[in-house]
Amino acid sequence: MSFSYVSHLECPKCQEVYPEHEVQQLCQCGSPLLVRYNLNEIKANLKKEDVTTRKGNLWRYHEILPVKQEENVVSLDEGMTPFVHMKELGKKMDIKNLYIKDEGIIPTGSFKTRGASVGVSKAKELGVKQLAMPTNGNAGAAWALYAAKAGIKATIVMPEDAPTITRKEVAISGGDLHLVNGLISDAGKIVGKLVKEKGIYDASTLKEPYRIEGKKTMGYEILEQLNWEIPDVILYPTGGGVGLIGIYKALLELRELGWISSEKLPRLVAVQAEGCAPIVKAWQEGKTESEFWENSETSAFGINVPKALGDFLVLEAIYQTDGCAVAVSEADLSQAQKDVAELEGNFICPEGAATFAAARTLREQNWINADDKVICLNTGQGIKYPESVDLSNVPLLQPEDVITG
Amino acid sequence: MSFSYVSHLECPKCQEVYPEHEVQQLCQCGSPLLVRYNLNEIKANLKKEDVTTRKGNLWRYHEILPVKQEENVVSLDEGMTPFVHMKELGKKMDIKNLYIKDEGIIPTGSFKTRGASVGVSKAKELGVKQLAMPTNGNAGAAWALYAAKAGIKATIVMPEDAPTITRKEVAISGGDLHLVNGLISDAGKIVGKLVKEKGIYDASTLKEPYRIEGKKTMGYEILEQLNWEIPDVILYPTGGGVGLIGIYKALLELRELGWISSEKLPRLVAVQAEGCAPIVKAWQEGKTESEFWENSETSAFGINVPKALGDFLVLEAIYQTDGCAVAVSEADLSQAQKDVAELEGNFICPEGAATFAAARTLREQNWINADDKVICLNTGQGIKYPESVDLSNVPLLQPEDVITG
C-alpha cells in the first residue's frame, strides 16, 4: 500500500501532462492544472469501509490526495465537519430532507483550510521555502497559519479593507503580512512581481494545483456522511469556484472507484449574489466561459469575484450534472442567515446564507422537489463576519432594573 | 439497551438524592448537584469499541449522558474536537509528548457548547419553555443558539462590556438579550429576580446540573483519542471550574466502567491568571474552599471568576489526582499565544494560552518530566478575541509598490 496514489498533473484545456514531483503552477496554455491518480490501483487496494474507521479528518482519504510521504502532512486535525439534518427550516422551506454541511467548524473557521492543509503539505513535500499570495482574507489566514506550522515563510498581501479578523490571523502566525491601498487585483500584481523576480512559489487561487485536492474532500465527506447514497442537489456559494470544481472532481473519482452508484450525480448549483453573478449570466446564456462583471458588489465578500480563472470548470460541472446557477438578493441572503440561526442554531456566514436563499427560490420554482435530498454548504463561521448582525435594538439595563417576561 | 442509563441526582456535599425527571436546581444545602448513572448496567451492555465507530460528536456517549429520549437531543454535531501532537512547540518546551485538545473548533467556537448541547437537551426533555442566565459572553452565546434550535425562549443578561461578538451570537439567535450597565454579578441579580418571580428555569453556571455532563465529554474524548491510554498531565484554564470538574468526573466514570486502567489518574492542573487566582491560593494553603479574590483582573476574561460556586469540587479533583494549581502572568500568556500560532498554526484564545504558559513553568520546575504525556486544553477560538492581536506594525503598500524579500 502506498500512502498516496498520485500519478501526474493534467491540463483540462489542452490535455498537456506534467510530473507531480516538481513545482508546477499554471499550464503553459494558461489553464489551471488538475491532479490525477492511479484510481484502478486504489480500487484494488482500498475499500470505502476502510476509510470510515480512520481518524475524523480529511487525511483519512490520503490515498486520493497528492502528498506521497506521510511526514509531509501538515494537519490541524481538520475536516469531517458537522453534517446536520435541518428539520425546522426544512419544514418552513418545504424541503423535508434539507442538510447543512458546516465548513465554519474547522481550524481557521472557513473551508479555505482544506485547500491550505493539502496545498501547504504538498509545497513542503516539494521543498518550497517561501510562498506568496494575494487574498481577500480567509484564504490568506488559512495559508499563513498552515505555512507557519510547516516552517514555510508566507508573504500575504491583502486589500486594506479586507476583514480585520483575517488580518489578525495572519499577523499572529508570524506571516509576512502586507496591506495594500487598493483591490485584490492590486495585491495580485504585487505578488506577481515578487514571484517573478524572486522565484517564490505562487499560491494564488488555482495557480498552484493542490488546493482543489483539499477542497474536493468536502465532496468525499458529504457522501460518506450520507452513507455513500447520492443526494439530489448540492448548493455551493460560488466566487472563485474552487469548492464546486473540487466537489465535482470528487464525485467523478468516487464513481470511478465504485464507491458510489454510477447512475446519476447530484445536481450542482452555483449560488452567486445579484451584485456579482458572472457564472449565472454565462449559464443563462448557455456559454462555457464567463465575462468580467463590472462594479461587482455584495456583502458576501467571499463571492465577490468578477471573473474566475476556473469559470469554465465551474460551468462544466453545472452542465454535466444538470445543475444550475442562481443569483440571490442581499435582502434574501440576510433573511436566510437569520432564519438558519433562529430555527437551527447555526451562526453561518453571508456566503453560506446565500445557498439557503437559493434553495428556497429553487423550491418555489419546483426546480427542487419537496422530497429531494438537498445539501447547503456553509463555507465559514458567522463570527468572522460581525458586521452582518445588527445590535441597535438591544436594551440596556441598570443594575436595579427588572425584566418582566 | 436504553438510550441513557441516568439514575438520579446527588449532592456531593450533603449526599441528598433527587429524581432526575423533575426540574432541579441547587441542592437545598446550596451545593451544585451531580448526575449519577447505572454504570454497572452500562458496563454489561456497552464496550468502548462500540462507541468508537459511532458518529464523531459528543452524543456517541449517550448512555452516559442524561437525556433519556433520543428525540430530545439538540445537536449541531458538536465534539470530537481536534487532538494534535505539537512536535515543534514540544521541542521548544522540552515536553516531547505535548498535545492540544482544541475546543475552539466546535459550533459557537468555545467549550461552552458542550454544556449548552446537553443542558438545553435535558431542559427540553423536562418541558422547559423559557430559561434565563447571566453570562460574560461565550456561555450565553452557546445557550442562546441551542435554545433557539430547541424552541426554548432564552433570556440572556450580559455586562455592557462583554465581548461584542458574543452579543451578536445571542442577537442573531433571536434570543431575549439584555445588556447591563454593571458586572456579571449585577446580571446575576437581575436573572435571580426574574427566575424567582416568574418560575423560569435558572441556567446559571452549576445552578442546573447538566452542563457538567456536557463538559465531561472532553475527558471521554481525550481518552478515546489517546486510545484509552491515560496521559500524565491535563492542564485546564480554570474560572468557574466546570470543565475540570467534568473531566475529573469523566475519569472516575471511565475507571468504574473498566474502560481505562485503575492504577492512576492523570494529574489535573488548574491554570489561573495572576490577576485572579483564588484556586491557586487555596491550593497553596491546603484549603478545600477558596476565598473571594478582590479586584480581579486578566485579559483572559473567561477565567476572571473571583469565587466559583464549585470551587470545592475543583480542589477535590486536584488533591485526588496529585495535581496542582498554577497562576501565570499576562506577559507569559500573551507570549504562549504567539508561540502556539507561530510554531503550530493554532490561533488559540488567551485562556487556552495560559495552559501552555503553565506547562512551560511546570516543566522548568521539573513538576512535568520531559517524557510525560501532557494535554493542554484550549477552550476557545482566537478569532473570538480580536483584541489579543496587535496590528500596529503591518506595512501599508501602494498599488505600484514592490515587496523585496
Give the C-alpha separation, A315 to A219, whole Å: 17
Q: Across the interface, do A180 and B396 touch by the CB < 8 Å criterion?
A: yes
- From chain A, the residues in CB contact with B396 under 8 A are 160, 178-181
Given a cut of 80, is residue B278 above it in pLDDT? yes
Given a cut of 90, is residue B144 above it in pLDDT? yes
A304: distance to nearest CA of chain B, Å? 20
pLDDT computed for residue B91 by the predictor: 98
Q: Dump pLDDT digits (tens) for B280-297.
A: 999 999 999 999 999 999
Nearest to A148 by CA among A188, A178, A176: A176
Given a cut of 90, is residue A301 above it in pLDDT? no
Cell of A384: 468572522
Distances (CA, A) of B263 to B251, B258, B266: 12, 11, 10
Give the C-alpha separation, A106 to A92, whole Å: 28
Give me the mean pLDDT over the B18-32 stretch.
96
Given a cut of 90, is residue B103 above it in pLDDT? yes
Q: Dump pLDDT digits (tens) for A94-103.
A: 999 999 999 9
Give me the mean pLDDT over the B199-227 stretch.
96
Q: Are strands A83-85 and B153-159 parallel, antiparallel or unpaired?
A: unpaired
| B129 CB within 8 Å of a chain A CB | no
Give the C-alpha separation, A72 to A126, whole Å: 9
- From chain B, the residues in CB contact with A105 under 8 A are 77, 105-107
Give the C-alpha separation, A108 to A114, whole Å: 10
Q: What angle do CA B244, B245, B248 make, to 5 degrees?
A: 85
Q: Dump pLDDT digits (tens) for B203-216.
A: 999 999 999 999 99
pLDDT computed for residue A165 by the predictor: 94
Q: Which residues pair with A97 in a beta bridge?
A: A373
Question: A 171-230 residues with CB below 8 A of B?
Answer: 171-174, 177-182, 186, 189-190, 193-194, 198
Distances (CA, A) of B318 to B112, B312, B379: 22, 10, 19
Q: Across the interface, do B402 and A190 touch by the CB < 8 Å criterion?
A: yes
How large is the ipTM?
A: 0.96
Q: Is A255 exposed, middle or buried (0-12, 13-18, 19+ CB in 10 A)?
A: middle
Q: Which residues pair with A29 in a beta bridge?
A: none
A24: distance to nearest CA of chain B, Å? 21
Cell of A93: 422551506
Q: Across the interface, do A57 and B82 touch by the CB < 8 Å criterion?
A: yes
Given a cut of 90, is residue B266 above it in pLDDT? yes
Q: Dump pLDDT digits (tens) for A195-214.
A: 999 999 999 999 999 999 99
Q: Dump pLDDT digits (tens) for B340-361.
A: 999 999 999 999 999 999 999 9
> DSSP letters along B263-294, please?
S--PEEEEEEETTB-HHHHHHHTT-SS----T
- From chain B, the residues in CB contact with A180 under 8 A are 396-399, 401
On whether the CB atoms of residues B139 and B167 are closer than 8 A, the answer is no
Chain A residue with minimum CA distance to B113: A345
Q: Is A244 exposed, middle or buried (0-12, 13-18, 19+ CB in 10 A)?
A: buried
On whether the CB atoms of residues B319 and B286 are closer than 8 A, the answer is no
Give the C-alpha separation, A308 to A318, whole Å: 15
| A94 CB within 8 Å of a chain B CB | no
pLDDT band at B380 (very low <50, low <70, confident <90, very high): very high
Give the C-alpha separation, A166 to A143, whole Å: 11
As a whole-number percent, the residues of chain B with pLDDT over 70 amount to 100
B357: distance to nearest CA of chain A, Å? 17
Q: Is B42 exposed, middle or buried (0-12, 13-18, 19+ CB in 10 A)?
A: buried
Question: A 107-126 residues with CB below 8 A of B?
Answer: 107-109
Q: Across the interface, do B344 and A149 touch by the CB < 8 Å criterion?
A: yes
Give the C-alpha separation, A20 to B147, whole Å: 50
DSSP A288: S
Given a cut of 80, is residue A60 above it in pLDDT? yes
DSSP A64: G
- From chain A, the residues in CB contact with B382 under 8 A are 169, 172
Given a cut of 80, is residue A127 above it in pLDDT? yes
Q: Of the ranges A241-245, A266-270, A300-304, B366-370, which one carries the lowest mean pLDDT score?
A: A300-304
Given a cut of 80, is residue B405 above it in pLDDT? no
Distances (CA, A) of A366 to A95, A277, A354: 11, 22, 18
pLDDT computed for residue A262 by the predictor: 82
Nearest to B212 by CA among B254, B178, B240, B183: B240
Chain B residue with minimum CA distance to A181: B398
Chain B residue with minimum CA distance to A395: B178
Cell of B388: 489579543
| A160 CB within 8 Å of a chain B CB | yes
| B82 CB within 8 Å of a chain A CB | yes
Cell of A273: 449574489
The rounded mean pLDDT for chain A is 96
B289: distance to nearest CA of chain A, Å? 29
Chain-centre distance for alpha carbon B288:
21
Cell of B329: 502572568
Look at the alpha carbons of B258, B260, B266, B271 in this order and tell me if their dihedral is positive or negative: negative
Q: Dump pLDDT digits (tens) for B62-86.
A: 999 999 999 999 999 999 999 999 9
A148: distance to nearest CA of chain B, Å? 5
B194: distance to nearest CA of chain A, Å? 6
- From chain B, the residues in CB contact with A76 under 8 A are 82, 84, 102, 344-346
Question: Which residue carries 452542563 as its cell?
Answer: B211
Chain B residue with minimum CA distance to A227: B55
The domains located in chain A, with CATH, are 83-109+210-384 (3.40.50.1100)
Question: A 250-309 residues with CB below 8 A of B?
Answer: none
pLDDT computed for residue A183 by the predictor: 86
Give the C-alpha separation, A160 to A307, whole Å: 21
On whether the CB atoms of residues A250 and A220 are closer than 8 A, the answer is yes
Chain-centre distance for alpha carbon A43:
26
Give the C-alpha separation, A246 to B230, whole Å: 40
On whether the CB atoms of residues B347 and B369 are closer than 8 A, the answer is no
The rounded mean pLDDT for chain B is 96
Q: Dump pLDDT digits (tens) for B324-334.
A: 999 999 999 99
On whether the CB atoms of residues A383 and A114 are closer than 8 A, the answer is no
pLDDT computed for residue A405 by the predictor: 75
Rounded to 5 degrees, φ, ψ at B389 are: -115, 130
As a whole-number percent, the residues of chain B with pLDDT over 90 amount to 93
Chain A residue with minimum CA distance to B402: A190
Cell of B52: 468508537
pLDDT band at A310 (very low <50, low <70, confident <90, very high): very high
Provide the 3-class DSSP secondary structure of residue A201. strand
Cell of A49: 469501509
Q: Across the interface, do A84 and B78 touch by the CB < 8 Å criterion?
A: no
pLDDT band at B184 (very low <50, low <70, confident <90, very high): confident
Q: Is A338 exposed, middle or buried (0-12, 13-18, 19+ CB in 10 A)?
A: middle
pLDDT band at A298 (very low <50, low <70, confident <90, very high): very high
Give me the mean pLDDT over the B308-318 stretch.
96
Give me the mean pLDDT over the A366-394 stretch.
95
**Terminal Cα distance for chain B, rounded:** 64
B399: distance to nearest CA of chain A, Å? 5
Q: Across the interface, do B88 and A148 touch by the CB < 8 Å criterion?
A: no
Given a cut of 80, is residue B306 above it in pLDDT? yes
Provide the 3-class DSSP secondary structure of residue B69. coil
Give me the mean pLDDT over the A297-309 stretch.
91
Q: Across the interface, do A149 and B343 touch by the CB < 8 Å criterion?
A: yes
Q: What angle do CA B118, B123, B129 make, to 5 degrees?
A: 140
Q: Across the interface, do A391 and B167 touch by the CB < 8 Å criterion?
A: yes
Give me the mean pLDDT over the B374-388 stretch.
95
Question: A 31-70 residues with CB below 8 A of B?
Answer: 52-53, 56-57
Burial state string for A355-393 with b = 16 or more CB within 10 A and e = fewer than 16: bbbbbbbbbeeebbeeebbbbbbbbbbbbbbbebbeeee
Q: Are strands B153-159 and B130-134 parallel, antiparallel or unpaired?
A: parallel
How long, in residues, is chain B? 405
Q: Dump pLDDT digits (tens) for A132-154.
A: 999 989 999 999 999 999 999 99
Which one of A161, A347, A348, A349 would you mutate to disrupt binding with B, by most B Cβ within 10 Å of its Cβ? A347
Give the C-alpha separation, B323 to B269, whole Å: 5
On whether the CB atoms of residues B290 and B279 are closer than 8 A, the answer is yes
pLDDT band at B1 (very low <50, low <70, confident <90, very high): confident
Give me the mean pLDDT over the B48-62 stretch.
95
Q: Across the interface, do A345 and B107 touch by the CB < 8 Å criterion?
A: yes
Q: Across the interface, do A395 and B82 touch by the CB < 8 Å criterion?
A: no
Size of interface A-B (CB pairs under 8 A): 231
